[in-house]
Structure 1
Amino acid sequence: MSLTGANETPSDDRGCGDITPKIGITSTPVIDRNRGPHGALYAVAMTKDASGGIHHRLDALDLANSAELFGGPSEIAATYPGTGGNSVNGVLTFDPSLHTERAALTLVNGNIYMGRTAHCMAGPYTGWIMSYSADTLKQTGVVNIAPNGLQGSVWMAGSGMASDGASIYVVDGNGTFGTTLDANGFPVDSNFGDSFMKLSTSPLKVTDYFAPLDVVQLANTDNDFGSGGAMLLPDQKTADGTVKHLAVAAGKDNKIYVVDRDSMGKFSPTSNNVWQVLTGTLAGGIWGSPAYFNGTVYYGGLNDNIKALPITNAMLAATAASKSPTIFAYPGTVPAISANGTSNAILWAAENGTTGALHAYDATNLAREIYNSNQAGTRDQWGQATSSSRR
């Protein structure tokens, strides 16, 4: 099944350093098994027509026969008030040639959420978040992250947006952040570069956020907060029994931020007003999302071991309870857990390199490696590993 239109190609010959030579489907699709006759797969495809024009389209495909559903595909287009980016007369217009889809699609309450990052990492791009109806493929919401500035990409190394069913949570990358705040602590210019944002789903808008105290410096030194994805934790209890609704995120600067989803902390130039900041726990930055299992958070940083960080009284341990014997080179690794309920948990991790490797560790003691794909000579090897998370 091809998602390219007539006389179109999934190639872009501009020689971009981010996605080359193919564009096509660059973000993980999402599946809804209850929509359409047999369930539906939603994907965004990026193509180039015979005249060189770039298109982004949302497709919904029948899981059984790949038939196009709900009148699709739907051409992605948007406008938003603002004076930044490629604006004309106070209006930003989504330019498909400047943007691409990297963050995984997210399905919440009947809407598909997508975030846009830069294509070719050049030009007057800005960060776009859009929502589309899963039933009609019609646009239901648009937010621009830096409408009066530049950049603010949503990429998160391919991770999807997090959601508690009522809100969605996004960490965006380098871009303009407005340090002048209104009476409610929000940037007066609505620029949220390098911020951890909470957005309502209907209407789609930023309702809370956290930006590190060095947010401007992060953008100036290419230390994206949004190089890693967000993860929501199950309800946690403090020592006095107070229930906390927490989320974690980390980026290129090696710090782990734990935020209270009920009051994320906003911005202060003198302090990080969040639940917890872990400095020095990670040896390198994060290009991906963490994993969670049975009261423990797992991170796999750049040039670092995978580290198991238990949660006690709603506080994340600053020192790892266990760590993998393997140190993972660029871009680190994205851990994943398989388990039978709360038992027999295995942490899986892919290693980049000339000869890639799939590792399996005992999630309760990462020092114990159960398997790796190089153990049996060439039998399980997959050859050179590549990374699509580079930014």
Structure 2
Amino acid sequence: MPAPAPPSPPTAVNVLTYHNDNARTGQNLQETLLTPANVNGTTFGKLFSYPVDGSVYAQPLYATNVRIAGQLHNVVFVATEHNSVYAFDADNKTSVPLWRTSFIDPVNGITTVPSRDTNCDDINPEIGITSTPVIDSVTGILYVVAMTKENGAYAHRLHALDIATGNEKFGTGMKLQASVPGTAAPNDGKGRLVFNSLLENQRAALLLSNNVLYIATGSFCDLGNHHGWVLTYDSKTLNLLGAFSSTPNGNEGGIWQSGGGAAADANGSIYLITGDGSFDAASGGSNYGNTFLKLSGAALTVADYFTPFNQATLAAVNGDLGSGGALLLPDQSAGPAHLLVSAGKQGTIYLLNRDNMGKFQAANDSQIVQSLPRPYPLFGTPAYFKNTVYMAAAGDRLNAYVLSNGQLSLSKQSTSIFGWPGATAVISANGSTDGIVWALETNGSGAPAVLHAYSAADVSIELYNSNQNSGRDYPGPAIKFSVPTVANGKVYVGSQYQVSVFGLLP
């Protein structure tokens, strides 16, 4: 009998942005090696890990066939709260970093920001790189925002690194500075709200769309005169193009999305969700707390919005709508063609028409496509595959919602329950076949992380979890809101001081 054919060689897969694409679907549809048949505790597990110098809040990014020092490598890029970016050989062909770039210089007074300086221990003990970077596939530039303490002052800087060398492309990076018309503090005294780095947590993943970089910020523990901000930069020059605050005449309205990034559609419109804060847009104001926003391009003008009828109640009980990130669904043949879905701390799932988002009405939310009440808060971004939306809210199971005739309905659930803060799932598949849903159970930062894999066709079927052989497969101490990356037969999991790599066992 002839020997079985070997697995197909990996295709040129790249994961260059948070949740795999600008629609934030979480899909990798070019996975030819990992299948529901071979992802199990016998044939799949942890292969190796790489140590790093801090906690990994950012999703690892992946690029195929990068030429570094004359050799081609598949590369995984890892950013840390110690303000380092690492490039590792994704297949462990060398155990040392291919390069490492640090944005601190303690001798000259440039360090990470001690958590105590913000009076918030959400990110502890230091704050450096929190958001997921983004890579330009055309230029080979990795864009990343690092927070630093510079001789007593505080700054966020946008850096552009050559993915082949780790070298800066534009000096020492562009300091984030902006102001917009507004009466709120911090103010320049001349009617302009001013961006203040010490008050702003740059947690939301970066977005690159049409050569424009979008950078959003929220708060540290809702302390101080913070606001939601979006800043846009030219990716070719790092010049500031636009600035937007969600509450220029109010307070709060942070944009954090549990690490999720703003989403972009094919027309260049940008979608994001704000947290608790002032809201008066329905009466002609410019404050958009607890709101789904549609912004037009680099200028960041508000093109449309949706605010739930109970936004004031949400704000009063710390019910951030913006704990979730927006997922843009593929064009639909029935009902509105362009849909968006997400949820927040209240748990209600909102399905919106991106061409007519619904704005605000005081009595109820009947103007939107659909709302599904759920009692479980979502901290993350839904995933999508084959007319199905996947969510794992805090205290809930991994739920699969079928999208049919422009409506969502609950189809399947996992048997396992995710504690706080739930998980942001990602999908691997070979086209429309061999779908696997991957989710990282964290139970808050510091608890043992657990990697789960489920059948995308039926999430009640768990294919694998790393506790099945915890001695071999332990991913490390968890980081809340962490998202795994799946590419070319491997799964990359960031944790505290390491990135672990899973795959088919030799």
TM-score (norm 2): 0.72
Q: Quick one: percent identity of the two aligned structures?
A: 42
Equivalent position of 1:339 in the other structure? 429
Equivalent position of 1:251 in the other structure? 344
CA contact (8 A) 2:243 2:299 kept: no
Of residues 163, 167, 176 in structure 2, which corresponds to 1:67?
A: 167
- Could you list the structure 1 runs, at least 4 aligned residues long, displaced by more than 3 angstroms after superposition: none
Equivalent position of 1:175 in the other structure? 277
Equivalent position of 1:369 in the other structure? 462
Tell me the amino acid that sits aligned with residue 129 of structure 2.
I
Deviation digits for residues 82-115 of structure 1 (CA, Å, limit 9, x no counterpart): 0113223311111111112000000000011010
Equivalent position of 2:179 in the other structure? 79
Q: Using a 3 Å threshold, how does the CA distance of structure 1 residues 203 and 11 change in structure 2: closer, same or farther?
A: closer
Equivalent position of 1:22 in the other structure? 126
C-alpha distance in 2 between matches for 1:89 and 1:135: 32
Aligned ranges 1:1-391 → 2 under 5 Å: 1-4=101-104, 6-12=108-114, 13-14=116-117, 15-35=119-139, 39-50=140-151, 52-87=152-187, 88-165=189-266, 166-178=268-280, 180-181=282-283, 188-238=284-334, 244-272=337-365, 273-280=367-374, 283-317=375-409, 320-353=410-443, 354-387=447-480
SS at match of 1:126: coil
Gaps of at least 5 residues in structure 2 are: 1-100, 483-506
C-alpha distance in 1 between matches for 2:481 and 2:419: 14
CA contact (8 A) 2:255 2:275 kept: yes
C-alpha distance in 1 between matches for 2:420 and 2:452: 16
Q: How many residues align?
A: 372
Q: Using a 3 Å threshold, how does the CA distance of structure 1 residues 377 and 118 change in structure 2: closer, same or farther?
A: closer
CA contact (8 A) 1:227 1:252 kept: yes
Shift of 1:212: 0.0
Over aligned residue pairs, what C-alpha RMSD do you find?
1.5
Tell me the amino acid that sits aligned with residue 301 of structure 2.
K
C-alpha distance in 1 between matches for 2:221 and 2:174: 24
SS at match of 1:360: strand
Shift of 1:210: 0.1
C-alpha distance in 1 between matches for 2:238 and 2:244: 17
- Comparing 11-20 with 164-173, greater Cα deviation is found at 11-20
Tell me the amino acid that sits aligned with residue 448 of structure 2.
T
CA contact (8 A) 1:149 1:191 kept: yes
Q: Using a 3 Å threshold, how does the CA distance of structure 1 residues 377 and 195 change in structure 2: closer, same or farther?
A: closer
C-alpha distance in 1 between matches for 2:470 and 2:180: 55
C-alpha distance in 1 between matches for 2:481 and 2:390: 21
Q: Using a 3 Å threshold, how does the CA distance of structure 1 residues 364 and 180 change in structure 2: closer, same or farther?
A: closer
C-alpha distance in 1 between matches for 2:256 and 2:232: 16
- Comparing 254-263 with 112-121, greater Cα deviation is found at 112-121
CA contact (8 A) 1:98 1:120 kept: no
Tell me the amino acid that sits aligned with residue 44 of structure 1.
V
C-alpha distance in 1 between matches for 2:232 and 2:391: 29
C-alpha distance in 1 between matches for 2:318 and 2:299: 32
Tell me the amino acid that sits aligned with residue 350 of structure 1.
L
SS at match of 1:119: coil
Tell me the amino acid that sits aligned with residue 324 of structure 1.
S
CA contact (8 A) 1:213 1:271 kept: yes
